[in-house]
Amino acid sequence: MHVIEKLRDIWTRYGGGFNSLSRSEQVEILHGVWTFSLALCVLACIATLVVMLVRLIEFLA
C-alpha cells in the first residue's frame, strides 16, 4: 500500500504534524488519499451491481 507507507514515513519523520509539511507534500498526500477512496468507491459500485444482477437472475429463473 503506497499511501499507507507514505503516511507512516511522514508520521515518523515529522512527528505527526500535518501542518508542518510543505504545501506540495500535503497536496501529494491528499491526492493519494483521494485516489485510494475513489478506487474503493468504484469497486463497491461494481460489487453492488454484480450482487443485484445475480439476485435478478435468481428471481427470473
Entry pTM: 0.60
Give per-residue pLDDT as tens, 30-48.
899 999 999 999 999 999 9
Which residues, at least 6 apart from 5, have a Cβ–Cβ distance to it below 8 Å?
none
Express each pLDDT in 3-29 by its tens digit: 788 877 777 776 666 667 788 888 888
- CA neighbor of 25 nearest in space, from 36, 39, 41, 13: 13
53: confidence class by pLDDT, cuts 50, 70, 90: very high
State residue 20's pLDDT score.
Answer: 72
* Residue with more model confidence, 61 or 33: 33
